[in-house]
Structure 1
Amino acid sequence: MTLTALLALSASASAAVTGGGVPAPAPAATMSQPTLVGYAELPADTFAAGPASGAWNGEGVRGEARFSRQPVQGFSGVQRLAGGSFMFLSDNGFGSKANSADYLLRLYRVSFKGQQQAGSVPQVGSFVQLRDPDKRVPFRIVNENSAERLLTGADFDPEGFVVAPDGTLWVGDEFGPYLLHFSADGVLLEAPIATPNLAGLPTLNGGKPVVVGHRGSSGTRPEHTLASYREAIAAGADFIEPDLVVTKDGVLVARHEPVIAVVGADDKVIEATADVHSRPEFRDRLTTKTLDGVQVRGYFVEDFTLAELKTLRAVERLPKLRGTAYDGQFEIPTLAEVIALVRETEAKTGRKVGIYPETKHPTYMQQVAGFNTSQLLIDTLVREKFTDPSRIYIQSFEVGNLKELNSTIMPKAGVNIPLVQLVSSPDEPAYDLKAAGDTRTPADMLSDAGLREIASYADAVGPYKRWVIDDQCQVTDFVSRAHAAGLPLHPWTFRNEPTYLLPCYGGDPKAEMRQALWAGVDGFFTDFPATGAEVVREFTTAEVRSPQNPAFANGQPNVSNLPSSGGYEGLAISPDGKTIYALLEKTVQGDPKGTLRLHAFDLATRQWSLAGRLALDSDAEAIGDLTAVNATQYLVIERDNKQGAEARAKRIYLLDLARKNADGTFQKTLVADLMNLADPQRLSPNSVNGVLGFPFFTIENVLVLDKNTILVANDNNYPATGGRGADVKDDTEVLWIRLPQPLNLAR
């Protein structure tokens, strides 16, 4: 029978095999732990026909070939053929893209006879050569101009394969990572299928979280200046935030507070956003006012005309933290000028950035300055013809003005702009409620009843970030409760400086942002929108790409979001033959540490979906293989990056796709500790006192033989040493393991 026919038959082979496939059961006394019932070794120096190999070093420099033929190993995937033999997939060759250009990618037929005899040698038979004669690969390969276009380890890194019901082969690749589709005799049938970036963030509507440039890019430029807003837009902010106060002549300008310089009794500036105190012509404007119940001495915007304000220059509000390099360079902008900047960006780039204005202290502005800033805001937006609800949010810490906007001002103007109720820390109630004698606290406003009340007049909520993640770095239930009320949420404020970060983040602002995104926030305010946009891109970049992705070799910027050698290490097919499950070996940038994405690929529709995530054990660093047990349960190998005497984590788990933990990761059950296998028959020469450890760096082959028995084999990373001794070349060891508890096989 031809190898192609054997492959086709293997797609429909039954779960049980006869003859040499599964050894006889081990003695009952050993069944309390996984027990070795079969063993075979394939010597490291096993070669097959083919050109000389091993001429390239790790820097991609070619020298003399080390081998006259093609090494058969190491093996990174296994499937059973009809008749009891097996098909093993060789991986990329000598360990890297740079040194494997002369290693040919193949699948080898391997037969085992007498595997219960220690030291028996498997028989390597024919092979399937993977190749691309029809030029399906869209990038340059090593054998680009040859007729057969044989694929090499510098083109792809195959780390798992399955046989589809039609007999064709599907191979998982680490370099892309890609899914590769071959005929049964190894011809690539279609272009490599890239991996979409399906982050699966739990936002309210499943959309991309928005990055709001808090007062622009206020961490790098003086806040509320056109320079700060321009910097935020260039950094990738989706919205820029102008806090709005009003001048003496009724013009809305961007300042964080109506007071632009706070001055102490000693005549020293306590805090300022403009250089007004250094201007003698305005000394008569220094005064004391009551701002939201607090006496403040300083200079107030409502005491200046716009023309007077335009003579001032912005200064850094936090000079000790952020320096004074840009002091005195920028004007105070009007809201109309901020809108003009956004339009200028759109005209030049086509990018539609939004604005996120806040009406500052509306009660104070009405009572002291004599202006209804909510009405002024809508009048300005209508006059500037900037009322697209997809490009504006209006926010306020007070409640009354949002209700007035919702019920009266916006309907009268014929506009419908989303409103956001800001909520401060627990000890800072909304001022208009406090002034009216309303005793509601921020906690009351963010209770379930309070959120339902907010949803009656506003479209989103903007909480202080500790309502989402507490001061112990624990995610609260606030996101789920806000979403249950139909409210997206945009917490504030995320900053890069360590002084603003909790100790648990280790000085890494991205860690805080990632935790908020995984908590389900729909956007966030940040003084450093470049950092915020970078973190969001980790989740929303179109594809998952490793550093070895060939796109980067073709001149594209290397924006990989997956560690090196982190692509598809495990590949399995559902028992009904309809879905391929592809498990990444390492964590996608931005995902929770130690979690691996399991992708599902529908063979009929060619559509990807995210099946979920596997959480590795704390001492594990990668996975080795994936294989089906039944429709919802799969075996997975977890491993550390150690070998020999240092190896600890070499385990096989039963993964349940239908059951998830509280954090959303799959539930798993330990099936076998490969460092502690009973060997009562002394089948392996490496057993000690009747116990076999399997301390290889990579173990990349697992296959269910029947409900009681699995086959496991290492990838020997030829010509590596270390698993069985520092100077001993690693052989490929194949284990037949009887499990203490039977698996529930697909029927």
Structure 2
Amino acid sequence: MRHTLVRLTALLGLSLGSTHAATLVGYAELPADTFAAGPPSGAFGAQGLRGPARFSSQPVQGFSGVRRAPGGGYVFLSDNGFGSKANSADYLLRLYRVNLTAKTAPGGQGRAEVGTSIQLRDPDRKVTWPIVNEASPERLLTGADFDVEGFAFAPDGTLWVGDEFGPFLLHFAADGRLLEAPIPTPNLPGLPTLRNQAPIVIGHRGSSGTRPEHTLESYRVAIETGADFIEPDLVVTKDGVLIARHEPVIAAVDASGKVTEATTDVASHPEFASRLTTKKLDGVDVRGYFAEDFTLAELKTLRAVERLPALRGKAYDGQFEVPTLAEVIALVRDVEARTGRKVGIYPETKHPTYFAAQGLNTSQLLIDTLKKEGFTDPGRVFVQSFETANLRDLKTNIMPRAGVNLPLVQLVSSPDEAPYDWVARGDARKYDALTTDAALRDIATYASGVGPYKRWIIDDGGKTTNFVTRAHAAGLLVHPWTFRNEPPYLLPVYANDPEAEMRQALRAGVDGLFTDFPATGARVVGQYTAAEVRSPQNPAFALVAPAPGQPSAANLGSSGGFEGVSLSPDGKTLYALLEKTVVGDPAGQLRLHAFDLASRKWTLAGRYLLDDPANAIGDLTPVNADESLVIERDNGSGPTAKVKRVYRVSLREKNTDGTLKKTLVADLMNVSDPQGLAPSTRNGVFTFPYVTIENVLVLDANTILVANDNNYPGMGGRGADVKDHTEFLWLRLDAPLTLAPGVGR
């Protein structure tokens, strides 16, 4: 418990002795049952089914944003309606002018008077998908079309509104007419890859988590589920043909004759019993059947089996052949011809020193085969090896002679192992000798990338190392291995969530990753590289199927879009804060976007860190050029409400994790009310226990206005069976804000 308290204190930058109990200096209330002219509403249920209208006109509330009204008073933005997309098709989206009079003394009276409204509408058909009032001339917008939250008045008099369903930015004329098509939210942050390119997904031995490895079926499934590259490990047949197997031993057999590991059913073929032998493979005696003792024709009589049957079963044993490299290339070409997808191959020359002792140069065979098959596009081939000498030979001799220039990747295994070409010549160094800054710079003289064991990227404790940063500094791509979905391969910190491990590696900046489950890899990478941030309510999910390799689901939580929208004091930049975390971002971090009104360019202004990932934000309003106020709240109501806070957030100061520094301004569950202005105040303390508090506005350096949304006809804030009213609070802060000119007027 003590560690949690210390962390929270550090994040908030608070003094433990400070209560931040702002003082209530004004109070007013708007009854829940407040209506405005308009058509009957409330006819739709939670499932979108229509019944009789519950209300004869339009409920005014709830309110999800507030600004000063031109000419005096306030303008409040109505929320999407009755709480969801499904039940709000007859709730009209409006902005209401509200005149507020604060109760400032025990004998006074607060008033909230609703005046005229601005109806949001799309008569010029700027929305490019069907809306509820599609066929009507005015095309009035409803809560089933958009979930409008924050808004701002631009210097030219137009309105900018944030939407949660898209999320979109909506640009309206002063009279509520939509001026342009909804502006989607770009997936801005990207990943710290070497060249800012999207990371690649490499099907490790194909989709080896779901099909027997190194089979055409495994490669086909990998491609169909989103792999950008497939990996054929290459060994040599007796007649000099490169085939896809992880090891030259295609079935290992112990002294008792038991098969201990196999990728083919060769041990069940009595005609090959005489091929059982013992060889020294990279200095280790291995007993079994070896590919180089079989012709291709003989190998074609065998069938693949699952290498890890205890973990992955035997459902596909005996169905698939051992493929050649040429057949793998033919598969890739066939996919391209049928679908247009240009998938690459990522061959590894296995045990080059071992094969060289038999007079076989696997590097030369690889380049000869690639040339013969006409597959030498450097954008579609990586060549990798755990040894070093063969890669240097490829770079300086083999490829130049062939007129080929393919990117090479130096594989780096665990620190207790060593490249066998070093071992063979008596060099006592281990793989850690390839991970120093000097060694990485040397690798860059002959290779384009490095393929490290993933523990070089994320250590045994689950902490990210600086390996990727150092490799990138040397100009090297980083493609770690191997990411698997099964619990035995995951650190405890991931709680059996393989996507969490992949996300951590992607955030570290890896340029690609090897995975036995490319469908999982493609989904995670797709969440980062999707062009847009989209919630499940985004209309694209109903209209357009996702592209191959793109996520089939939203990358933002339901209605998790722009909850807070504000305009910089100079009127040039619109700030829009998401309510929920984009999939793949660290838990509890919310993206704050900046949208330049002149250039229409988006940038990431920073990341807001919630006190608890289960919390949400309620509103955003400017203080000065560098600071804003943010409402943060939990999802509790009434007696379960605990966290309802207003923070001052700095755009310039950051925490050690890179998130924006925030300072508590007001604890809305602990407001001092010495005059007893609010009817709910008890013993001089006022609490604001509504589930949604979505309105904050700076009135002057010492005073802010705060109001709740009531999700009409929601209940529970002031009693289980009491409809939530909208309460307006004038709060005097403990410490004054530093305001920019024009703010608070």
TM-score range, shorter chain: over 0.9
Structure 1 position 461 matched with structure 2 position 450 = yes
Distance 2:424 2:612 in 1: 53
Asked if 1 retains the 8 angstrom alpha-carbon contact of 2:42 and 2:88, the reply is yes
Q: Quick one: which amino acid aligns to residue 50 of structure 1?
A: G
Is 1:565 aligned to 2:559, yes or no?
A: yes
Verify: 1:444 aligned to 2:433, yes or no: yes
| Structure 2 Cα separation of the partners of residues 41 and 515 of structure 1 | 47
Supply the distance in 1 between the matched residues of 2:455 and 2:127 (Cα, whole angstroms).
50
Kindly state the Cα deviation for residue 256 of structure 1 after the two structures are TM-superposed: 0.2
Q: 2:391 aligned with 1:391, yes or no?
A: no
- Name the CA shift for 1:241/1:553 in 2 (closer, same or farther; >3 Å): closer
CA contact (8 A) 1:39 1:117 kept: no
Give the partner amino acid of 1:630: N
1:539 maps onto 2:533 in alignment: no
Amino acid of the structure 2 residue aligned with 1:317: R
CA separation of 1:398/1:50 partners in 2, compared to 1, >3 Å: closer, same or farther?
same
Look up the SS of the partner of 1:698 in the other structure.
coil
Amino acid in the other structure paired with 1:177: P
Cα shift at 1:362 = 0.7
Give the Cα separation in 1 of the matches to 2:165 and 2:68: 26
Please state whether the residue corresponding to 1:452 is helix, strand or coil. Answer: helix
1:158 aligns with 2:148: yes
CA distance in 2, matches of 1:734, 1:482: 56
CA offsets, 1:383-441, max 9 Å, x none? 21111111111111111111111122112222211111111111111111122222322
* CA deviation after TM superposition for structure 1 residue 199, in Å: 4.1
Change (3 A) 1:609 1:276: same
Deviations 1:208-247 (A, max 9, x none): 1100000001111111111111111111100000001111
Distance 2:652 2:621 in 1: 16
Say whether residues 1:104 and 2:92 are aligned partners: yes
**1:202-221 matches, cutoff 5 A:** 202-221=192-211
Does residue 689 of the first structure (1) align with residue 679 of the second (2)? no
Contact 1:423 1:464 in 2 (8 A): yes
**Partner letter of residue 112 of structure 1?**
L
Alignment pair present for 1:382 and 2:371: yes
Q: What CA distance in whole angstroms lies between the structure 2 residues aligned with 1:482 and 1:656?
A: 33
Offset of residue 189 of structure 1:
0.7
In the alignment, what sits opposite 2:727?
A: 733
Amino acid of the residue matched to residue 689 of structure 1? N
Aligned to 2:325: 335
Query: Do 1:31 and 1:740's aligned partners in 2 also have CA atoms closer than 8 Å?
Result: no
DSSP 3-state at the match of 1:611: strand
- Select which of 550, 569, 588 maps to 2:582: 588
| Residue of structure 1 in register with 2:185 after alignment | 195
Aligned counterpart in structure 2 of residue 746 of structure 1, from 730, 740, 743: 740
Does 1:90 find its partner at 2:78? yes
Aligned-partner Cα distance in 2 for 1:554–1:484: 43
- For 1:495 and 1:32, the matched residues in 2 are separated by 48
Q: How many angstroms does 1:117 deviate by?
A: 4.3
| Structure 2 residues without counterparts, runs of 5 or longer | 1-17, 547-551
Q: Is the 8 A contact 2:243 2:324 kept in 1?
A: yes
Q: Is contact 1:31-1:739 (8 Å) kept? A: no
C-alpha contact (below 8 Å) 1:619/1:640 kept by paired residues: no
Q: Displacement, 1:314? A: 1.1
Greater alpha carbon shift after TM alignment, 473-482 vs 525-534: 473-482
Tell me the SS of whatever aligns to 2:170: strand
> Which whole-Å deviations, capped at 9, do the CAs of 1:432-482 have from their partners, x for residues lacking one?
112222232222211222212212221111111111111221111212122
Matching of residue 185 in structure 1 with residue 179 in structure 2: no
SS in 2 for 1:122: strand
User: SS of 2:501's equivalent?
Assistant: helix
1:486-521 alpha-carbon deviations (Å, 9 max, x no partner): 212111101111111112212121111112111211
Aligned to 2:15: none
> Which residue does the alignment assign to 1:51?
39
Structure 1 gap ranges (5+): 1-29
Q: Which amino acid aligns with 1:360?
A: K
Aligned-partner SS, 2:111 = coil
Distance change in 2, residues 1:155/1:341 (3 Å): same
Query: For residue 5 of structure 2, what is the aligned residue in structure 1?
Result: none
Tell me if structure 2 keeps the 8 A contact 1:216–1:241: yes
Indicate conservation of the 8 Å contact 2:678/2:686, yes or no: yes
Separation of aligned partners in 2, 1:379 and 1:553 = 49
2:715 to 718, 721, 726: 721
What's the Cα RMSD here? Answer: 1.7
Match of 2:266 in 1: 276
Q: 1:613 maps to which residue?
A: 607
**2:9 matched residue in structure 1:** none
In the alignment, what sits opposite 2:159?
169
Letter in 2 for 1:484: A
Residue in 2 aligned with 1:362? 352
Q: What does 1:406-417 correspond to in 2, within 5 Å?
A: 406-417=395-406
Q: Deviations over 1:238-280 (max 9, x none)?
A: 0000001111222111110011111100011111111111112
Per the TM alignment, residue 359 of structure 1 is displaced from its structure 2 partner at its CA by 0.8
Q: Shift of residue 121 of structure 1?
A: 1.6
Q: Are the structure 2 counterparts of residues 464 and 49 from structure 1 closer, same or farther at C-alpha, using a change threshold of 3 Å?
A: same
Q: CA deviation at 1:660?
A: 2.8
Identity between Structure 1 and Structure 2 (%): 72
Contact 2:20–2:667, Cα closer than 8 Å, also in 1: no
Give the Cα separation in 2 of the matches to 1:82 and 1:736.
20
Residue 121 (structure 2) pairs with residue 127 (structure 1): no
1:683-737 CA-to-partner distances (Å, cap 9, x unmatched) read 2222222221111100101112222221111101111111111121111111112
Q: Which residue of 2 aligns with 1:10?
A: none
3-state DSSP of counterpart to 1:289 = strand
Aligned to 2:138: 148
Please tell me the residue identity of whatever aligns with 1:506: A
The one-letter amino acid of 2:88's match is S
Quick one: which of 595, 598, 610 aligns to 1:604?
A: 598
AA partner of residue 164 (structure 1):
A
3-state SS of the aligned residue for 2:666?
strand
The answer to which of 429-438 and 126-135 deviates more is 429-438
Counterpart-to-counterpart distance in 1, 2:139 and 2:291 = 73
The alignment partner of 1:598 has SS state of strand
Normalised TM-score (structure 2): 0.94
SS class of match (1:108): strand
User: Is 1:483 matched with 2:477?
Assistant: no
Cα distance in 2, alignment partners of residues 408 and 661 from structure 1 = 51
When normalised by structure 1's length, the TM-score is 0.93
Equivalenced residue count is: 717
User: What does residue 26 of structure 1 align with?
Assistant: none
Q: Distance in 1 between matches of 2:251 and 2:39?
A: 78
Residue of structure 1 equivalent to 2:673 = 679
2:253 to 263, 271, 283: 263
The residue identity in structure 1 corresponding to 2:60 is: V
Q: Distance in 2 between matches of 1:32 and 1:553?
A: 46
Are positions 1:239 and 2:217 aligned together?
no
1:61 aligns to 2:61 (yes or no): no
1:278-317 matches, cutoff 5 A: 278-317=268-307
Q: Return the alpha-carbon distance in structure 2 between the equivalents of residues 289 and 72 of structure 1.
A: 83
What is the CA distance between 1:555 and its match in structure 2?
6.4
Spell out, residue by residue over 1:34-84, the C-alpha distance to the aligned partner (whole angstroms, 9 max, x if none): 222221111111111112221221122222222222111110001112444
Encode CA deviations 1:579-607: one digit per residue, 9 max, x unaligned: 21111111222222212122222211222
Task: Measure the CA separation in 2 of the matches of 1:428 and 1:745.
Answer: 61
Cα distance change on mapping 1:542 and 1:98 into 2, 3 Å? same
Give the conservation status (yes or no) of the 8 Å contact 1:651–1:674: yes
Structure 1 residue matching 2:96: 3-state secondary structure: strand
Q: Secondary structure at the match of 1:195?
A: strand
**Distance (Å, rounded) in 1 between the aligned partners of 2:613 and 2:411:** 42
Asked if structure 1 preserves the Cα contact closer than 8 Å seen for 2:102 and 2:730, the reply is no
**How far is the alpha carbon of 1:657 from its aligned partner?**
2.1
In structure 2, give the amino acid aligned to 1:729: K
